[in-house]
Amino acid sequence: MSTTTTAEVAGKAPVAAGPPLAPRTAKSPRFKLALRAFSRDKAAVVSAAVLVLVVLASIFAPLLTPYDPTVGSASERLSGIGTPGHPLGLDGQGRDILSRLLHGGRNSLLVGVVPVAVVFPLALMIGLLAGYTHGVVSGIIMRLLDVLFAFPLVLLAIALSAVLGAGMDNIMLSIGVTLVPYMARVAYTATVQETEKEYIEAARAYGATTREILWRELAPNVVTALVVYATTLCGLMIVVASGLSFLGVGITPPTPDWGIMTSDGASVLLEGKFHVATIPGLMILIVALAFNLVGDGVRDALDPRKQTS
C-alpha cells in the first residue's frame, strides 16, 4: 500500500527527522483521484477560487487601488456604498474602504494562516511520538497540553497578546501557542487510530524499525487528517486574529486590517453608518466560510471511499 501521496496533497513534507519518503509525484494515481474528487465538489471549487482571488487581490493591492489605505479625505467622510470613485464608500476618517479592504487582506490573512503552518510540523511530531511510542516524555507533554485545553481558545490568545503587547509578530506567536494543543490532539488521535490498523502490524512483522513505521507508514496518513483540520483552522484563526485586532491587542492602527476596520465601524454605528463595520466583517465571514468548505472538500477528496463514484 502506497501511503506517500497524501503528503504531496498536503503540499508539506513531514518534518525531516526520518528517512526520506519514497519519490512523490503529482502523477501518482492517488493524487489524481483526490484531485478529481475535489473538482467534482462544486462548493469546494468555488470556495477555493474565492480564496485564490482574495489572496491575489491582497498581494496586488497597491497596483489595484489608487488610494493610500491610511490617508483619508475629510470632505467625503462616511460616504456610503456606491460613491463615485469609491465603490464601497469611505470610513469615519474619509479613507477608501475598498483600498483598506485589499491592503488589510495582506495582514488579516497572514496572521491567520502563518501560525497554522508553523505549528503544523510541531503538532505532527508531538502527535506521532505521543500516539505511537507512549513514552514518558510524550505522556508528560500530553498532560501539559491538557492544561492548555483548560483555557477557551480565544481567551488564551487574548491573554497572551495582552501581556506580550500588540503587533503582528506577537499575535502570530499568541495564536501559534494557542493552536499547539488543538493540532497536536488531532495528530495524536489520528496516530492512535492508524496504529491499530493492519498495515502497521504488517510493517512490524517484517521488521520495520520504529523510525520507519513513524515516518514512512504513519506520518503520511496522519498528515492527511491534520491537513483537513488545518484548512478549517485557517478560517477560524483569521476570525480569532481579527478579534484580537478588534480588541486592540492585535495589529495596531493605522495599519489596515479587517478586525481594525470593523472596530472603526463600531464607533460610527450609532450614527447610522452601517457600511463601515459591515463590509470588513462580511469579508472575514466569506473567507472563513471558504476555508471551511475547502476543508470539507479536501476531507472528502482524500477519503478513498468517496473518491470513486
Binding site for another protein (CB under 8 A): 143-144, 146-155, 158-160, 162-165, 235-236, 239, 242-243, 246-249, 259, 262-263, 265-266, 269-270, 272, 274, 277-278, 280-281, 284-285, 288-289, 291-293
Nearest-approach distance from CB 297 to another protein, in angstroms: 12
CB of 52 to another protein, least distance (A): 18
| 218 Cβ neighbours under 8 A, 6+ residues apart | 128, 132, 191, 194, 195, 200
Q: What cell does 276 get?
A: 463601515
Is residue 161 within 8 A of residue 174, CB to CB? The reply is yes
Contact 98, 61 (CB under 8 A): no
CB of 229 to another protein, least distance (A): 14
Q: Residue 230 — φ and ψ, nearest 5°?
A: -65, -35
Closest to another protein by CB, 101 or 213: 101
CB of 263 vs another protein, minimal distance in Å: 8
Instruction: Read off the amino acid at residue 71.
Output: V
CA dihedral (250, 80, 287, 15) in degrees, to 10, reads -40
Short-list 293, 261, 306, CA closest to 69: 261
Give whichever of 127 and 265 is closer to another protein, judged by the CB atom: 265
- Burial class of residue 74 (count of CB atoms within 10 Å of its CB; 0-12, 13-18, 19+): exposed
Q: Which is nearer to another protein, 200 or 290 (CB)?
A: 290
CA distances from 229 to 224, 240, 255 (A): 9, 16, 30
Q: Which is nearer to another protein, 18 or 248 (CB)?
A: 248
Give the 3-state secondary structure of residue 4.
coil
C-beta separation of 191 from 224 below 8 A: no
Q: How far is the CB of 302 from another protein (least distance, A)?
A: 19
Nearer to another protein, 151 or 199 (CB): 151
Compute the residue count for the chain: 309
Query: Phi and psi dihedrals of 83, rounded to 5?
Result: -60, 130
Looking at beta carbons only, is 220 or 250 nearer to another protein? 250
d(CA 7, CA 14) in angstroms, rounded, equals: 7
Contact 13, 21 (CB under 8 A): yes
> Which residue lies nearer to another protein by CB, 200 or 238?
238
CB of 283 to another protein, least distance (A): 10
C-beta of 165: minimal distance to another protein in Å? 6
Quickly list H helices, 14-77: 29-40, 42-59, 61-64
Q: How far is the CB of 105 from another protein (least distance, A)?
A: 15
Residue among 146 and 201 whose Cβ is closer to another protein: 146
